[in-house]
């Protein structure tokens, strides 16, 4: 939607999902049709930039807050300014409607929160308590409480009826930029400049969860089949197990000597498998955290791992251009599947455990017989690396994601391309089917997670919240939740129904760097190669062995490296 001549500061959907409202530094509020993308109306009246906009629950009115220190109410039908609410002595940074559409709340740089009557425009109450700018305000769904977040590092809960301060939630180490209530009004979530997301109990005011643990980017995440646990793999070389209910770090699995690229649960939820840049596949006990087996055989980075449905076999894909099948019980190598002409980035089993699918740097998707190891089909159509592959639950369809920015659906029986899903503005890093087979989820370098209809190929939702590229996505077994892992070092849980971000564990770690001598590297056509692992040359000056940087692209990862003499 193009039309603003200045930065867009705030956007919101109408409750009937038909209209989007946007507020901009160009001093205007704009209404847009969701169906056509057409600009419906431009609401002019503010004398400074618009910082916050919101719809009334009945979709009839829009409220806007501005740097001109006013709050304005607008008719959605006519675009007319119904009322201008004057009272703040500094910029109005956040506005929201009450659930009954009768009251508006505003937060300001004057350190106050104000409640206004929508009918009369009268100032009902001024809530005083913050010592710095109020950045965000929201009503509880029951209409009884207002929450505010401030640059003073606190979150405050206020009574709408009396205006009294109920609770001050202390725990952030920097300004709070965003606050929201859970639908049941029992929990508040806050986001802060301290890089954390916190969950708070409204009843007690206590901090429920701050999930911290990894000291490096999270490359891969997955739910356990029983929905009780999340596993994450990281550039900090560890695999971590988290309680979904409590957010607690259950175990840290240590043993890899380089970054972890891929993680998965066994069907019985008892075992985790991980693949790493150290060329190994490891099996771990979920109960004890003990390393059960290390599967050694690849001569290149292990980019992807997966369990068979019966839990008896593990498949691994590697930069050595091979796919390998391993016995979970003995750790023995069963078969090596040879056919790709470049590194294998992603592998998956069909639900009936009879077929393996692999995606490669060679831009192809291949289907293999688990029983014989023979190559069944080669699916061609992508114009760049295939980064991620997965089977539908009925084993009839394969989905693939590629750096060509597309997601493709293929018939397993015929090998024909069924649909190409376009919408990402950068390469696709990860794809997965929902257990009910109705939806595909994709993650991308464009920092978004997208949900697609398998039947129509239409884009259902775009989940925005990550501040860096998304490495890995997965569905919960009940198809209600998506989990995503990102280069921003967070794992996010999303509601499939609403598209809302439910929870964000946060890990605050330093950049990871590796050191390589020039003798370990060779150059070819602008690329630096170490075995079959590619490094894209950004600023290479090998002649003088001067310090230079490169980006290591392997599996679903981008790693910053430094090359030294």
Q: How many residues does the chain have?
A: 565
Burial of 2-30, coded b for 16+ CB within 10 Å and e otherwise, reads eebeeebbbebebeeeebbbbbbbbbbbb
Per-residue pLDDT of the chain (565 residues; tens, 9 = 90+): 667 877 777 777 787 767 878 888 889 998 888 777 788 999 999 999 999 888 999 889 999 999 999 999 999 999 999 999 999 999 999 999 999 999 999 999 999 999 999 999 999 999 999 999 998 898 998 899 999 999 999 999 999 999 999 999 998 888 887 777 766 677 776 766 665 556 678 889 888 665 567 676 556 656 677 767 777 777 889 888 877 677 788 999 999 998 876 677 777 788 887 878 787 878 899 999 999 888 888 888 888 888 898 888 999 999 899 999 999 888 899 999 999 999 999 999 999 899 999 999 999 999 999 999 999 999 999 999 999 999 999 889 999 999 999 999 999 999 999 999 999 999 999 999 999 889 999 999 999 999 999 999 999 999 998 989 998 898 888 888 898 888 887 888 899 999 988 866 544 433 322 222 222 233 222 222 232 222 222 222 222 222 222 222 222 222 222 222 2
Q: Using CA atoms of 121, 123, 125, 126 in order, give the dihedral in degrees to the nearest 10.
A: 120
**Domain segments of the chain as ranges:** 1-504, 522-563
Apex 462 CA angle, 459 and 465, nearest 5: 170
What is the DSSP secondary structure assignment for residue 512, as one 8-state letter? P
Based on the number of CB atoms within 10 Å of its own CB, is 250 exposed (0-12), middle (13-18) or buried (19 or more)? middle
Of 61, 203, 209, residue with least CA distance to 121: 61
- Whose tokens are 């503005």? That residue is 425
Q: How far apart are CA 392 and CA 390, in angstroms?
A: 7
Based on the number of CB atoms within 10 Å of its own CB, is 425 exposed (0-12), middle (13-18) or buried (19 or more)? exposed
* Helix, strand, coil percentages in the chain from 3-state DSSP, rounded to 5: 0, 55, 45
Q: How far apart are CA 305 and CA 313, in angstroms?
A: 11
User: What is the CB neighbour count within 10 angstroms for residue 294?
Assistant: 13
Task: Note the pLDDT of residue 363.
Answer: 95
Contact, 283 vs 289, CB < 8 A?
Answer: no
1-504 domain in CATH 2.130.10.10?
yes
Q: How far apart are CA 60 and CA 561, in angstroms?
A: 54
CA 48 to chain centre: 34
Beta bridge mates, 375: 368
Which of helix, strand or coil describes residue 31? strand
Q: How far apart are CA 253 and CA 241, in angstroms?
A: 8
- Strand residue runs (E) in 142-211: 145-150, 154-159, 165-170, 176-181, 187-192, 197-201, 207-209
Beta bridge mates, 246: none
pTM of this structure: 0.51
Task: Note the pLDDT of residue 32.
Answer: 84
């Amino acid at each position: 939607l193009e039309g603003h001549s200045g930065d867009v500061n705030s956007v919101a959907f109408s409750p009937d999902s038909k209209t989007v409202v946007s507020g901009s530094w160009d001093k205007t509020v704009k209404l847009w049709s969701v169906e056509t993308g057409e600009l419906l109306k431009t609401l002019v009246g503010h004398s400074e930039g618009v910082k916050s906009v919101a719809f009334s629950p009945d979709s009839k009115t829009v409220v806007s807050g501005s740097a001109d220190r006013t709050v304005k109410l607008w008719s959605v039908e006519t675009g007319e300014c119904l009322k201008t609410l004057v009272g703040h002595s500094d910029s109005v940074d956040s506005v929201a409607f009450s659930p009954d559409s009768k009251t508006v709340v505003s937060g300001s740089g004057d350190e106050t929160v104000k409640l206004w009557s929508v009918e009369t425009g009268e100032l009902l109450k001024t809530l005083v308590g913050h010592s710095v700018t109020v950045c965000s305000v929201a009503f509880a769904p029951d209409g009884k409480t207002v929450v505010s977040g401030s640059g003073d590092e606190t979150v405050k809960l206020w009574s709408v009826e009396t205006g009294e301060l109920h609770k001050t939630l202390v725990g952030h180490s920097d300004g709070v930029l965003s606050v929201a209530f859970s639908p049941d009004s029992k929990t508040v979530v806050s986001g802060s400049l301290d890089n954390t997301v916190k969950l708070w109990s409204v009843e007690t005011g206590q901090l429920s969860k701050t999930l911290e643990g990894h000291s490096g980017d999270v490359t891969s995440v997955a739910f356990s089949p029983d929905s009780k646990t999340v596993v994450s793999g990281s550039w900090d070389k560890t695999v971590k197990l988290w309680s979904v209910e409590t957010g607690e770090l259950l175990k840290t699995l240590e043993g890899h000597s380089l970054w972890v690229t891929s993680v998965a649960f066994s069907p019985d939820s008892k075992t985790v498998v991980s693949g790493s840049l150290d060329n190994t596949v490891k099996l771990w006990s979920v109960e004890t955290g003990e390393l059960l087996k290390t599967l050694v055989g690849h001569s290149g980075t292990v980019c992807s791992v997966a369990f068979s449905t019966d839990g008896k076999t593990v498949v691994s894909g590697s930069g050595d251009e091979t796919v390998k099948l391993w016995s979970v019980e003995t750790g023995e190598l069963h078969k090596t599947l040879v056919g790709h002409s470049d590194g294998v980035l992603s592998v998956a089993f069909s639900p009936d455990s009879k077929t393996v699918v692999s995606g490669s740097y060679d831009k192809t998707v291949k289907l293999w017989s688990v029983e014989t190891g023979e190559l069944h089909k080669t699916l061609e159509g992508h114009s760049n690396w295939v980064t991620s592959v997965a089977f539908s639950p009925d084993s009839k369809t394969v989905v693939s994601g590629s750096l060509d920015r597309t997601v493709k659906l293929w018939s397993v029986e015929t090998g024909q391309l069924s649909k190409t899903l376009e919408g990402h503005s950068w390469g696709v890093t990860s794809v997965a089917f929902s257990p009910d087979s109705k939806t595909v989820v994709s993650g991308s370098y464009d920092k978004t997670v997208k949900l697609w209809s398998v039947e129509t190929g239409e884009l259902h939702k775009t989940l925005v919240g990550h501040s860096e590229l998304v490495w890995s996505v997965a569905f919960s077994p009940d198809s209600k939740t998506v989990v995503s892992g990102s280069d921003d070092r967070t794992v996010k849980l999303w509601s499939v129904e609403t598209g809302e971000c439910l929870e964000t564990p946060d890990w605050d770690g330093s950049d990871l760097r590796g050191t390589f001598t020039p003798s370990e590297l060779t150059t070819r056509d602008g690329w630096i190669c170490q075995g079959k692992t590619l490094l894209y040359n950004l600023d290479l000056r090998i002649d003088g062995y001067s310090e230079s940087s490169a980006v290591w692209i392997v599996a679903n990862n981008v790693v910053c490296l430094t090359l030294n003499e």
